[in-house]
Amino acid sequence: MNGLLTSFGIGMRSFKVLSEDPPAFSLFYRMPPLMLEDQGTFRLDYSALFLFDRVIVDEQTYRRAIHPELEEDVETSLAPPVVEMLRRTVAEYAEVLRALHSGGRLVTSDFDADFRRLEDLWTETMDADLRDVGRWAAPFHQSVTRWDAVAARVEKGIERFWRPAGVEAMALNVVPYRPHALTPGDRAQHLLGTLKNWKKRQSPEAREEVRSALRDYLAYVNFNLLLARDRDAAFVDWEDMQPFYDRKFTVEAGSPGGEELRRSRKLFEIFFPQFVPRSPKRLLRALEDKRVEELRLLIQQSASGAVEFDHAFATSVLREVLKLEHQAIVRRKICGWATMPLGFIPVVGSGVEKVVTEIAERVWANRPLARYGWFYLINELDRSSR
């Protein structure tokens, strides 16, 4: 299965409000998706990478990732803790993307050209979605609430309130309800009131504001859906966008691999909640390991309903792993005792003993561990567990 990393902002009009170029405060423009931490930080969704044979990335997104220098105006408009957090995250992404590219697992594509190619179908989808504006009230509220919580935690940890340099206060009115702006969503809550009462009498200005805000969300969401289906790939996007996908999936077929992605994240949340690979090179080697197929099979079984990733599953796996670890220790000792007499063979005894011991351990002593090879693969790779 191929995976697609979204490129944030494609299709949105608001990025063109202040100039023809991405405005200085659009910190996440054309960035690949990150997971949202409860502490107000961001991290890569490594759980998704184990599902994909290849990863498709926008050409411009890839260039921005491997050249992580933040623009000078961004540096002066953000507090140092935020700049440092973004630098670390972008640098980590760059290392992973480079490793995937060097291993032949990353494919770049011109998403702007893809957008032009799919634009007629995209326009039809947008027209259909905006015919019934009121049905987007719940997704809009859930999305804004999720991002507001992140923005509030980020803001709490910085030295001063963030305001883009050189931007007039009136222009900032577009920021609070645009996704991925590190500001509180007070304006979004005002728009939500209009949206919830859409069938009642509303001023034309309020309705146009709501349509403009919704259009940004839906433009981006619909392009990702169309591109993923065009490439027959599962796609990974920002978590706060998920309510819009969920709403669309109630009346449309889900995206390819979407359920597998959810199950993979659930599995990592249970066993490796803070997973970080020991290095991008080690990650690449792990993706080539045959035990990845065992992991994918388990996730597919969960997606089909055969296995449920819950507390009972976690308990049973850990109990079995501890039992197998104990068996492996005992069997290694038995192997040592069984091969000990070989050491007394004149001249070659020591060498023969080592060779036979190694073969015995591979064939017999370590055999039980293969039953949970996926667990050992991720555990050995996980830097956060050390």
**Which has the minimum average pLDDT: 9-18, 117-126, 128-137, 227-236?**
9-18
Condensed to tens digits (0 to 9), the pLDDT of residues 27-42 reads 688 889 988 876 667 8
Among residues 154, 151, 156, the alpha carbon closest in space to that of 177 is found at 151
349 has a pLDDT exceeding 70: no
Q: What is the pLDDT of residue 96?
A: 93
**385 φ, ψ to 5°?**
-85, 0
Spatial contact of 20 and 248, defined as CB atoms under 8 Å apart: no
pLDDT tens per residue, range 205-237: 888 888 888 888 999 999 999 999 999 999 999
* CA–CA dist 103, 109 (Å, integer): 17
Q: CA 195 to CA 134: how far, in whole Å?
A: 6
- Give the Cα separation of 180 and 236 in Å (integer): 16
Task: Look at 340 and 255; give whichever has higher pLDDT.
Answer: 255
Strand intervals (E) in the chain: 2-5, 35-36, 42-43, 54-58, 106-109, 234-236
The pLDDT, as a whole number, for residue 66 is 76
Domain boundary assignment for the chain: 2-272, 303-381
Per the CB < 8 A criterion, the answer to whether 368 and 324 are in contact is yes
Q: How confident is the model at residue 178 (pLDDT cuts 50, 70, 90)?
A: low
Report pLDDT for 342.
41
Mean pLDDT of 65-86: 60
The Cα–Cα gap between 49 and 306 comes to 23
The pLDDT value recorded for residue 256 is 66
- Positive or negative, the CA dihedral 369, 370, 373, 375 is negative
pLDDT at 69 over 80: no
> 106: which strand partners?
55
CB 241 within 8 A of CB 217: yes
**Helix/strand/coil for 164:** coil
* Closest by Cα among 3, 33, 1, 28 to 14: 28
Distance CA 15, CA 9 (A): 7
**Residue of 70 and 108 predicted with greater confidence:** 108
How big is the CA angle at 145 (ends 11 and 242), to the nearest 5 degrees? Answer: 50
Residues making up the chain, counted from first to last: 386
Across the chain, mean pLDDT equals: 77
d(CA 312, CA 1): 29
- Compute the distance between CA of residue 225 and CA of residue 4 in angstroms, rounded to an integer: 10
Q: Does residue 45 carry a pLDDT above 70? A: yes
The rounded distance, in Å, linking the Cα atoms of 284 and 274 is: 19
Q: State the pLDDT confidence band at 68, using cuts at 50, 70 and 90.
A: low
Residue-wise pLDDT tens digits, 245-291 = 988 876 555 566 788 999 999 999 999 988 999 999 999 999 999 99
What does the longest C-alpha to C-alpha distance in the chain come to?
99
Q: State the Cα angle at 382 between 377 and 386, rounded to 5°.
A: 125
Name the pTM for this structure.
0.78
Torsional sign, CA 22, 236, 45, 175: positive
Tokens of 187: 């304006």
pLDDT per position as a tens digit, 355-367? 545 554 454 444 4
Does residue 183 surpass a pLDDT of 90? no
* Pairing relationship of beta strands 35-36 and 42-43 according to DSSP bridges: antiparallel
Q: 161 is written with which tokens? A: 């309130």
Q: Which residue has the higher pLDDT, 202 or 130?
A: 130
- How confident is residue 244, by pLDDT bands cut at 50, 70 and 90? very high
The pLDDT assigned to 186 comes to 54
Q: Is the pLDDT of residue 203 over 90?
A: no
